Amino acid sequence: MSNSTTRSNHEIDYRIIGEEMQYVEVELDPSETAIAEAGSFMLMDDGITMQTIFGDGSVQQQSGVLGKLFSAGKRLLTGESLFMTAYTNTGQGKKRVSFASPYPGKIIAMDLQQLGGRLICQKDAFLCAAKGVSVGIALQRKLGTGLFGGEGFIMQKLEGDGMAFVHAGGHVFERSLQPGEIIKIDTGCVVAYTQEINFDIQFIGGIRNSIFGGEGLFFATLQGPGKVWIQTLPVSRLASRILAYGSFNRKEEGSILGGLGNLLDGDGR
């Protein structure tokens, strides 16, 4: 999306397409570049060149071999690869490249220039961005975050003044917090938040929460001012339900279908 304010990162146009399984189509002018995680690519026009790069290709990495190695190596802590793919328009005129979300949910466009230049995200939230956006790590200093936070104390940090795109599961909504305002939320439901937000982990009193509640003993507290993006279906929760669904013999779901129902859903036992 174009902006009259000068950016140091590449300035890209885009549109997000779809409902439950979205993809983002990025439009590149000649010599413009988008970066993306491996595995997110869907399609591109002829005239776009793909190149594997070490790290994210941001300005922060241009500090010699050791600087690049340290910056890229930090991405391993978030479970990502040392490498990204850069997509550059080397042809004439505008070209388009598209990136798809890896699971059902929404893609959120984040203009880092309008968000204070920094955004903290879940470890697997980043999808793609304009070249120049730095994709690093954010270490939560609270001890409880590392031990009991569910998603862990290591999160992704997006920095720069370009467009970045993150994906989330289920429905996603934005919440603006006033100074001092606090919300309490399941750790996996936090997609991203602005740098002014104070993030912490708190204990839920009452042992029955862990035995019967299914949500664990700890949850995240976020204190304003700032913005937070929340997802209704964390991928970890989706994966655990799928695993539970297929890991035991289910009782027949409807006496009329009986064994026929199992045949239809692929279980011929």
Where do the domains of the chain lie, and which CATH numbers do they carry? 13-248 (3.60.160.10)
Distance CA 98, CA 43 (A): 5
Residue 1 confidence (pLDDT): 45
Tokens of 169: 């599961």
Distance CA 260, CA 262 (A): 5
What percent of the chain lies above the pLDDT cut of 70?
67
Where does the pLDDT of residue 224 fall: very low under 50, low under 70, confident under 90, or very high at 90 and above?
Answer: very high
Higher per-residue pLDDT: 151 or 91: 91
Distance CA 201, CA 249 (A): 37
Asked if the model's pLDDT at residue 263 lies above 70, the reply is no
pTM: 0.76
Distance CA 108, CA 175 (A): 14
Buried/exposed code over 19-45 (b: 16+ C-beta within 10 A; e: otherwise): eeebbbbbbbeeebbbbbbeebbeebe
Residue 36 confidence (pLDDT): 92
- pLDDT, one tens digit per residue, over 196-208 is 999 887 766 655 5
Asked if the model's pLDDT at residue 115 lies above 90, the reply is yes
CA nearest 184: which of 149, 214, 210, 223?
223
